[in-house]
Amino acid sequence: MPFLSQKPIPPSERLIFALDVPGPEEARHMVQRLGPSVIFYKLGLQLFLAGGYFELIDWLRNHQKKIFVDLKIFDVPETVRLAVDRLNHRGITFATVHGNDSILAAAVEARRDVQVLAVTALTSLDRFDLKQLGFQCEPEELVLSRARRALELGCDGVVSSGLEVARLRAETGSGLTVVTPGIRPVANRDDQKRTVDVTQAFLNGADYIVVGRPIRDASDPRTKAEEIQASIRALFPRADSPV
């Protein structure tokens, strides 16, 4: 297991649940339903546009939850700088930023207590999709190129499909935090194309995984989350202290 994460992250915090629900009321209900089975929550664009986003962040923090703001911030550098600055001092752990060097540099300059994650390539995109977007390369090459830039510019980490993490680790080392979405426990039939299962994501070098629909759409979301946590504990049996 050459790429298994050695970062001192409590095993229960390596699972990030994608809180993709229609609004804050549904979000609070899901958090309460999941109880202690999930510590870390990702809040994306759907919730942001529903209103009450920062009030929900405060509520999660007051319930001792960790927060990942996944808005994939992309705009002119000054606007990105101001946006990231608004996320400081709110108890937010991660925020995603997308763009070229000047955009990422602006985000890094503005961060204080929030960690900046650079988006590499969405897990819903395959080689054909990237070609339509004008990229004449394999997904792995795009991910590696963007990860190298993120590291050079001082980003705290990247968001990367589990398919690319092993090579990313081999070429960039263990310094970058890697958050891996597109986790599917079985053969996949939805819009996520570049997927791996829980164990493979961590063996390839992920520090955290993001799981949404497999938990949210389960007949018993809490039981499904607990099953995933058990898989994680089997890989990381030591109860490490928080970073």
Do 70 and 44 meet the contact criterion of CB atoms below 8 Å apart? yes
- Catalytic residue list contains 131: no
137-168 burial: b if 16+ Cβ within 10 Å, else e: eebbebbbebbebbbebebbbbbbbbbbbbbb
Residue 233 CA to residue 11 CA, distance in Å, equals 6
The one catalytic residue in 42, 65, 66, 72 is: 72
Q: Which residues contact 197 (CB under 8 A, 6 or more apart)?
A: 183, 184, 185, 186
Q: Which residues are catalytic?
A: 72
